[in-house]
């Protein structure tokens, strides 16, 4: 009985070695195709070097965990993955975050921020995105998420972009003036006119839209009043 078990173990070991040898040395498993699913321009030569991707290398020699770790260090990526597709393909997915606004950090740097409130990349000021300026910048750090008070602003910007993109595109800056009772006042500036609106304690896509209408009314009426204040009954001048 013991002899039979030894024979079976030896046979299994030989089989495993043969399979491993086949996988390691058979040309069938040489890397021949790199399938990259991305939504941005990429210097492939530099990218391959960073991930140690070489032609005609057996796919089983690639350390997928290590490759994913290298890619994950790029905080501007919202989605990423690397996997082997036998017999000869590496499948790489990389999708960059889409900025919904820019924000001023605690170091007074301008950074992009996505719809999930993740501050992810120092950037030059863009006139195409709303700039969020916080009175208390202590918690605004690159590679970190913003607090709930700032997320309120982000959520309303996302709602505007999805439903009323023209209103979203008209916003140049939003100042968030935080108060001790954890509420905030918001000052919204528009691109094409010098008028602004002040929202106390609450911000919403609807009040920003109505505020833009009020500001346009003041502008075209050549009214000297440059600021509209939101009250319970609507905007007052």
CATH code for position 69 = 3.10.20.310
Query: What domain count does the chain have?
Result: 2
State pLDDT tens for residues 133-175. 887 766 788 888 998 888 999 999 999 999 999 999 999 999 9
Is 9 part of any domain? Answer: no
134 and 210 co-located in one domain: yes
Is 137 part of any domain? Answer: yes
Closest by Cα among 137, 69, 127 to 102 = 127
Q: Is the pLDDT of residue 22 over 60?
A: no
Burial 92-107, CB ≥16 within 10 A → b, else e = bbbebbebbbbbbbee
CATH number at residue 157: 3.40.50.10960
- Report in angstroms the alpha-carbon separations of 144 from 59, 76, 117, 136: 35, 11, 8, 16
Which stretch of DSSP H or E encloses residue 208? helix 205-220
Is 13 part of any domain? Answer: no
145 and 210 co-located in one domain: yes
Domain end, chosen from 38, 67, 96, is at 96
51 and 121 co-located in one domain: no
> Which tokens in the block code for residue 62?
């690639």
145 and 126 co-located in one domain: yes
131 and 213 co-located in one domain: yes
Q: Is the pLDDT of residue 184 over 60?
A: yes
Domain end, chosen from 68, 96, 124, is at 96
Burial 154-179, CB ≥16 within 10 A → b, else e = bbbbbebbeebeebbebbbbbbbeee
74 and 143 co-located in one domain: no
| Alpha-carbon gap, residue 175 to 205, rounded angstroms | 15
pTM higher than 0.85:
no
Q: Is the pLDDT of residue 18 over 90?
A: no
Is 59 part of any domain? Answer: yes
> Which tokens in the block code for residue 182?
């954890």
Q: Which residues constitute the domain of residue 183? A: 99-236
């Amino acid at each position: 009985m013991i002899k039979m078990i030894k024979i079976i173990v030896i046979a299994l070991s030989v089989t495993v070695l043969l399979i491993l040898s086949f996988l390691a040395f058979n040309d069938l498993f040489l890397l021949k195709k790199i399938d990259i699913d991305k939504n941005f321009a990429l210097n492939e030569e530099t990218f391959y070097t960073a991930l140690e991707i070489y032609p005609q290398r057996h796919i089983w020699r690639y350390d997928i965990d290590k490759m994913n770790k290298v890619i994950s260090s790029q905080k501007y990526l919202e989605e990423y993955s690397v996997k082997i597709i036998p017999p000869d393909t590496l499948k790489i997915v990389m999708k960059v975050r889409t900025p919904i606004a820019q924000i001023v950090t605690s170091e007074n740097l301008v950074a992009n921020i996505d719809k999930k409130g993740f501050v992810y990349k120092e950037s030059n000021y863009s006139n195409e995105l709303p700039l969020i300026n916080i009175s208390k910048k202590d918690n605004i750090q690159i590679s970190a998420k913003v607090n709930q008070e700032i997320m309120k602003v982000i959520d309303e910007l996302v709602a505007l972009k999805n439903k009323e993109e023209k209103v979203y595109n008209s916003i140049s800056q939003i100042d968030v003036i935080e108060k001790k009772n954890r509420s905030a006042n918001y000052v919204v500036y528009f691109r094409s006119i010098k008028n602004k609106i002040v929202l106390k304690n609450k911000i919403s896509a609807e009040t920003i839209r109505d505020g833009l209408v009020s500001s346009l009314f003041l502008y075209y009426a050549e009214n000297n009043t440059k600021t509209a204040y939101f009250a319970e009954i609507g905007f007052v001048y």
